[in-house]
Structure 1
């Protein structure tokens, strides 16, 4: 064959021949799975068998059987409690893999929506059962758990690996400032209620109506501020969250470090986009049922075994809901990825305070459940001093094991106080 005839051959056919026809199955696979992505089989093989923690999925059917068979309250609570641990991890895995296949903006919105999916599901389940105190304490507990326990353990773990860890101070301060704003929005309703009770002494209905108006208006404003923060973080000031930019600015990073971080950022997803989306949908539905079983068992468990409901909502529920994030944050801190640790701990707290809580207030508004931003005075004080301590410790852009010990100690003191409340 002459060299002039060579270009006539393309993909096994000669120029002028009819294009190669794909079967319906091939066209379908090409549509739902991009070239180079993992197959559906590989995706779900990794999803279900990629971690030993998934063994705990056995408690998912057990929690359903215990609930519908009306077993002892402690068993119903424990089975549902344990079942949510692997489900929380699977939600995080599905969200992470979807984010890897989407653009930066869509990934940010997805993480905002599903980054705290367990908290949202548990909150809505409790709201629909009119367990307003469980909603409030579980949300506040999630914030305190991330700010004090997880961040403190991360600083401790990093302190065992190196004398001092460094992170980008400007981005951390921007996050802590928004956290401070969210804290203030909880102080204002408490101050308003105190003023109405001590000074005006007006009708109780008037005070409750005022709290609803303040809470719902504040919820809308916080959601707007949170969207602005996403734009700040992902678009207008994304360079503040780029470690390579920080190294260039301060002259502290080598080319090898920057290239290795770039390679880590380019890590391929373990699931293709459609399989991750389907997994996210299915796991969300299953988690909603387990959360419903869990909430339904809290009242009887608290009464029968003399466990304060506030302790369950503030300490136990957040620990199980954030179990996967706890492990990830500590692991990243040990690997000296402190910016990622700050993002997980403080960023997750911001999501709850500025996105999840306002969202639940609006859901309660729509469904006729009067959820407000008014927390008990003691809870508001605990939140305020926690944010104050975190802001004090991260403002220098450095951490050590002693700072971690301070955060964990404050968390244990708060847990002890709520145990005896």
Structure 2
């Protein structure tokens, strides 16, 4: 197989950069270096001796895609979840198996988009990776919207942002600080400043509909039309979503063309070892990557549908609030692979890569997946807005604020990671002990009709 031409590239979760031309292959972005830490080196001596070229390609693809990750043993949960659904086993069991099955699938989507990235142009590949960067959260959100479970969408997306900012980043800084306790850890602030500014924009767009709603409810002006507050909040949310999407596309252009040097990792150029460089050339073909990516996305969609169908029953059976499951469990599972990679590189004192993963993913969810969910709801006539409730929006505000203060000086130690992690524990505990009321009129159209009769 001839090697693909060298060209500029951008990769997943909005972490885009100009790949350097090296003798060893392609440069790597923070996210893909993080994902590659969970991959296993392939040994295909027996496969290479097969006489049939078609069979050789098929088996080598299966070997690379299914067994080329340290999480391959979790793939068993996928057929178990399908069988459990087919034989109508208990709903919590289906939910659990679907949750576990999504972990390796999400990591393999990252791997496959990277493989396709070796063959496509910068613009096409960038859009592909931007879309697939958080495919699990996006697909779960779409299925929840189709079933009018708006609160599940809101809580799961909120949980994804908080888990990246507090759980992932906190755990990584804590572990990295303890592993390098005698080393003065530093990182480049320019990338984190860009992400924090976008997160603050997203926070403003989430706060304004909430403020308007509460302002209209408490307005003492007799002329105030409080009855239309929900409609006005919905329109304001859609306008804010369009603004956030424009900001996200500007963010892509900023990283891809105008200021791509900000997102280049010096650690990658200076300290890349054999483990992180082993995937610098494609191991499957372009069409093979497209076919496998389509199949993995279809499996994610199937398990996401199972999750959305069974989440209420799992909540009741386990005695856990639905808000806690949506905010804590779903995001942790959906991003488990990249989370583990971020911690691994923090242990190696490569904080630029860790920040690229955690902040890049949080930014993409905040200014792309959240507003896109509002627009999708608008298209399918579901009243998805940016009113995430007072407790949720307050948690998001404090999470972004604590993260911004933690990263403001460009240094890190284990105490900063511990503080972020403890903040996440407090937020998780608040949703664990508080069963927030859900808006049944939004989640259940039938309930809305009966309420109006």
Q: TM-score range by the shorter chain?
A: 0.7 to 0.9
Alpha carbons 2:205, 2:241 under 8 Å: kept:
no
Once the two structures are superposed, the pairs formed by residues 51-130 of structure 1 within 5 Å of their partners are: 51-130=69-148
1:283 and 2:296 are equivalent in the alignment: yes
Match of 1:268, SS? Answer: coil
Instruction: Quote the residue 2:441 is aligned against.
Output: none
- Tell me how far 1:238 sits from its aligned partner: 0.7
Instruction: Quote the residue 1:30 is aligned against.
Output: none
- Structure number with greater Rg is 1
d(CA) in 2 for partners of 1:129, 1:266: 40
Instruction: Quote the residue 1:272 is aligned against.
Output: 285
Alpha carbons 1:44, 1:275 under 8 Å: kept:
no
- The alignment's TM-score, normalised by the length of structure 2, stands at 0.78
- Tell me how far 1:359 sits from its aligned partner: 0.9
**Alpha carbons of 1:100 and 1:410: their partners in 2 closer, same or farther (altered >3 Å)?**
farther
Instruction: Quote the residue 2:159 is aligned against.
Output: 141
Instruction: Quote the residue 2:361 is aligned against.
Output: 348
Instruction: Provide the aligned length of Structure 1 versus Structure 2.
Output: 374
- Tell me how far 1:335 sits from its aligned partner: 2.3
Q: Which moved more, 1:289-298 or 1:333-342?
A: 333-342
Instruction: Quote the residue 1:178 is aligned against.
Output: 198
Instruction: Quote the residue 1:27 is aligned against.
Output: none
- Tell me how far 1:264 sits from its aligned partner: 4.3
Of the three residues 225, 229, 254, the one matched with 1:207 is 229
d(CA) in 1 for partners of 2:272, 2:342: 22
Instruction: Quote the residue 1:386 is aligned against.
Output: 399
Instruction: Quote the residue 2:380 is aligned against.
Output: 367
Match of 2:169, SS? Answer: helix
- Tell me how far 1:273 sits from its aligned partner: 2.1
Alignment RMSD, CA only? 2.2
Instruction: Quote the residue 1:10 is aligned against.
Output: none
**Alpha carbons of 1:156 and 1:271: their partners in 2 closer, same or farther (altered >3 Å)?**
farther
Match of 1:101, SS? Answer: coil
1:49 and 2:67 are equivalent in the alignment: yes
d(CA) in 2 for partners of 1:195, 1:59: 48
Gaps of 5+ in 2: 1-55, 435-453
- Tell me how far 1:298 sits from its aligned partner: 0.9
d(CA) in 1 for partners of 2:326, 2:128: 26
- Tell me how far 1:318 sits from its aligned partner: 0.4
Alpha carbons 1:39, 1:272 under 8 Å: kept:
no
CA deviation vs aligned residue, 1:168-215 (integer Å, no higher than 9, x gap): 111210111111111111111110111011115856651111111111
Once the two structures are superposed, the pairs formed by residues 224-239 of structure 1 within 5 Å of their partners are: 224-239=246-261
- Tell me how far 1:92 sits from its aligned partner: 1.6
Alpha carbons 2:71, 2:104 under 8 Å: kept:
yes
Gaps of 5+ in 1: 1-37, 248-252
**Alpha carbons of 1:164 and 1:75: their partners in 2 closer, same or farther (altered >3 Å)?**
same
CA deviation vs aligned residue, 1:306-354 (integer Å, no higher than 9, x gap): 2100001000100110111111111122223222211110110111011
Match of 1:152, SS? Answer: helix
- The alignment's TM-score, normalised by the length of structure 1, stands at 0.84
Of the three residues 260, 263, 276, the one matched with 1:241 is 263
Alpha carbons 1:219, 1:358 under 8 Å: kept:
yes
Instruction: Quote the residue 2:31 is aligned against.
Output: none
Comparing both structures, which one devotes a greater share of its residues to helix? 1
